[in-house]
Amino acid sequence: MTKVKENKVQSAPNVSIMTANYAAAEAARLAGVQVVSAYPITPQSPVVEKLMEYVNDGSMKAEFVTVESEHSAITVCISASAVGARVFTASCANGLALMHEQLHWAAGTRLPIVMAIPNRSMAAPWSILNDQQDSISQRDTGWLQIYCRNNQEVMDSIIQAYRIAEDVMVPTMVCYDGYILSHTMMPVEVPDTDKVTAFLPDYKPHTVLDPANPQNVNPVTLAEPRKNADGVLCHGYFEIRYLLQEAHLRAVEVTRETGIKFGKEFGRPYGLYDTYKCEDADLVAVTLGSIGSQAMDAVDILRDKGYKIGVLSVRLYRPFPALELSEALREIGCRGVAVLEKNVSYGYEGALATDLKAALFEYNVPVFAHSYCMGLGGRDVKTSDIEEALIKSHEYLDKPAAEQRKAQEWINCKL
Amino acid sequence: MKTETGKYMGTKECGHITASSTPSKGEAGRTGDWRVKYPVIDNDVCTPARRGKPSCFICWSFCPDAVISKTVPLIIDLEYCKGCGICAEECPTGAIKMVEEDRS
């Protein structure tokens, strides 16, 4: 009798084909979200529809609060988070802009709400298509911002976002390009529910609104510290805002640790940024979101033509990992950087370009940095557009330092 | 006390990372020294004080800051009175007079 070799059955990973919107909804379900409030807006609507389906069929034990606007949606989230629930919402473009005032409230109250943002252009003129002007315009509200390159990153980043947000007590936006990711099907490995539950510690609110213990959260706070009725010296506005800044700075390390821990548990490690073919690069394309995936194709083509170019995709945008990005570029030893992004700070240049230049200046990294604007209002960013931008910056490599400055350029503008 | 980044703050001991307060007297602060006039009750004219039993209490019901007691005689808590003068305006017997704050 021949001995049959024992076949060790390995559980196959649960891979599904899904859009980034469905990945976002699935991640919220896996994260054990207890309250969802969102108002539908293209291209975010499928996130809302899917979550309603989950709540309706009982596969998600959450309260779905329907509202009449995005302003109310985020307000419900703020209230629910303040009574101790894990909360999720999603919005984009003008809907996100309508939330703006409450975004400051959420951050100032230090509520770890997580919001999915399938990036869409800001009107006017009306556009439902993709760029990143919507979330970039909310940069200074005090929320953390993570940008994703593909649907798997959307799934994984939303799960990680709860761990990060609830550690530093800062709300977090997980941003992904509308349509390009939100409506595009890709294979996504769906993590095991129990493993996600184990990965996310219970949400421990810093303050719980409870009728048994009445309190006023966010009373009028004066400029200077003041004693409360019990004689305890309480923060002025300035101190509270400093604590938010401090939490943001700490979030860099928390995001890094969370990405490493996620890698150990689920086999997909995450960092603050990601590099591709950067080892010997003279020029590095620095990007945000799905351009990062596309730039890898452009770099493959350019490498075949002899250009030594790499890609650095920024994942954590707020807090801005200035030291880490600067040291990464210093270590690569590149001489130039081309920042490719789908947003513009009108009157200057791309927001990422400005932030990166400030970091390179602060940490004294001797490279030039060029700003390229592309893809606003859904203008197709072709791989050849990325190639064009990178070749343009490549031509500056051998120029004297004084001539390496280049004005911001809008790629594929047909004026 | 030192913060996470090693800076001294002074208010960290309050135990909160945001603004919060509990319902208590003085939660929203005392009036301070900006009041221009304050009310004074003449108990020889005030109806409950004169009769020696609960009555009238119109000033008590009108006071927007609830600083007038529903007692005999009435007591106005000047720690929180803003000096709006509504009590003096509403008093049917003219028992309440608004008096200039002494600024000297």
Q: Of A151, A169, A199, which residue sits at a domain end?
A: A199
List CB contacts (< 8 A) between A229 and chain B. Answer: 21-22, 24-27
- Given A166, A199, A232, the domain boundary residue is A199
- B20 falls within a domain: no
| d(C-alpha A280, C-alpha A286), whole Å | 15
> Domain for residue B8, yes or no?
no
A168 & A288 share domain:
no
- DSSP states along A341-387: ES---TTS--HHHHHHHHHHHHTT---EEEEEE--GGG----HHHHH
Given a cut of 70, is residue A9 above it in pLDDT?
Answer: no
Shared domain check, A178 and A313:
no
| Closest among A109, A81, A103, A106 to A240, alpha carbons compared | A109
Is pLDDT of B31 > 90? no
Residue A260 lies in a domain: no
State whether residue B1 sits within 8 Å of chain A by CB. no
Q: Output the average pLDDT for chain B.
A: 89
Q: Are A374 and A366 in contact (CB under 8 A)?
A: no
Task: Classify residue B34 as exposed, middle or buried by CB count within 10 Å of its CB (0-12, 13-18, 19+).
Answer: exposed
DSSP line for B73-94 = S--B-TTT-----HHHHH-TT-
Average pLDDT over residues A118-141: 98
Asked whether the beta carbons of residue A235 and residue B4 sit closer than 8 angstroms, the reply is no
Contact A178, A119 (CB under 8 A): yes
Q: Is A215 in contact with B3 (Cβ distance < 8 A)?
A: no
Pair A160, A278 in one domain: no
Burial class (CB in 10 A: 0-12, 13-18, 19+), A29: buried
CB contact under 8 A, A234 and B18: no
In tens, the pLDDT along A263-307 reads: 999 999 999 999 999 999 999 999 999 999 999 999 999 999 999
Query: What pLDDT sits at residue A108?
Result: 96
According to DSSP, residue A8 is labeled: -
The beta strand positions in chain B, using DSSP E, are 20-21, 37-41, 96-100
Burial category of A183 from C-beta neighbours within 10 Å (exposed 0-12, middle 13-18, buried 19 and up):
middle
Residue labelled with tokens 């315009």: A137
- Residues in chain B within 8 Å Cβ distance of A219: 19-21, 27-28
For strand A316-318 and strand A336-341, is the pairing parallel, antiparallel, or unpaired?
Answer: unpaired
What is the Cα–Cα distance from B100 to B38, expressed in whole angstroms? 7
- Whether residue B43 lies inside any domain: the answer is yes
B24 occurs within a structural domain: no
What is the domain extent for residue A316?
273-410
Question: Encoding tokens for residue B14?
Answer: 């309050």
Sign of CA pseudo-dihedral A57, A58, A61, A63: positive
CA-based Rg of chain A, rounded to a whole angstrom? 22
Contacts of A226 (CB under 8 A, 6+ apart): A233, A234, A236, B29
Q: Quote the domain boundaries for residue B89.
A: 31-104
Six-digit token pair at A224?
Answer: 């200077």
Confidence of residue A364 (pLDDT cuts 50, 70, 90): very high
Which CA distances in Å does A338 have to A105, A202, A312, A354? 35, 42, 10, 12
For residues A49 and A178, membership in a common domain is answered with: yes
Question: Is B48 part of a structural domain of the chain?
Answer: yes
End-to-end CA gap in chain B? 40
Contacts of A212 in chain B (CB under 8 A): none
pLDDT of A406 over the 60 cut? yes
Residue A348: give its domain's CATH number: 3.40.50.920
Handedness of CA A182, A183, A189, A194 (dihedral sign): positive
Q: Tell me, yes or no, whether B102 lies in a domain.
A: yes
Which one-letter DSSP state was computed for residue A403? G
Which residues in chain B are contacts of A238 at CB distance < 8 A?
A: none
Does any domain span residue B64?
yes
Q: What is the C-alpha to C-alpha distance for residues A247 and A142, in angstroms, rounded to an integer? A: 10
Amino acid sitting at position A84: G
Q: Is B103 a member of any domain?
A: yes
Total domains present in chain B: 1
Q: Which amino acid is at A79?
A: S
A314: confidence class by pLDDT, cuts 50, 70, 90: very high
Nearest-angstrom CA–CA distance, A179 and A181: 5
pLDDT, one tens digit per residue, over A372-382 is 999 999 999 99
The pLDDT tens digits of the residues spanning A165-224 come to 999 999 999 999 999 999 999 999 999 999 999 999 999 998 888 889 888 888 889 899
Residue ranges of B 19-58 with Cβ closer than 8 A to chain A: 19-29
Q: Is B10 at the interface with chain A, CB within 8 A?
A: yes
Q: What is the pLDDT of residue A138?
A: 98
Residues A166 and A293 grouped into a single domain: no
pLDDT digits (tens, 9 = 90+) for A24-68: 999 999 999 999 999 999 999 999 999 999 999 999 999 999 999
Residue A338's Cβ-side half-sphere holds a number of Cα atoms within 13 Å equal to 32
What percentage of chain A reaches a pLDDT higher than 90? Answer: 91
- Chain A residues close to B5, C-beta within 8 Å: 246, 249
Total domains present in chain A? 2
Residue at token pair 């975010």:
A44
For residue B39, the domain's CATH number is: 3.30.70.20
Instruction: Please list the residues that pair with A373 across neighbouring strands.
Output: A341, A410
Task: Please tell me the distance from the alpha carbon of residue B41 to that of residue A129, in angstroms, as a whole number.
Answer: 70
The better pLDDT of the pair B21, A243 is held by A243
CATH (domain of A170)? 3.40.50.970
Residue A5: the pLDDT is: 55
What is the residue whose two structure tokens read 């129990």?
Answer: A194
Averaged pLDDT score across all residues of chain A: 95
Size of interface A-B (CB pairs under 8 A): 85
Q: Is A289 left (phi over 0), alpha (psi -120 to 50) or beta?
A: left
Nearest to B3 by CA among A106, A314, A249: A249
How far, in Å, CA of A411 to CA of A389, rounded?
A: 7
Strand partners, B68: B76
Determine how β-strand A172-177 pairs with β-strand A144-147: parallel
Residues A288 and A384 in one domain: yes
pLDDT at B9 over 80: no
Residues A349-381: b if buried by 16+ CB within 10 A, e if exposed: bbbbbbbbbebbeeeebebbbbbbbbbbbbbeb
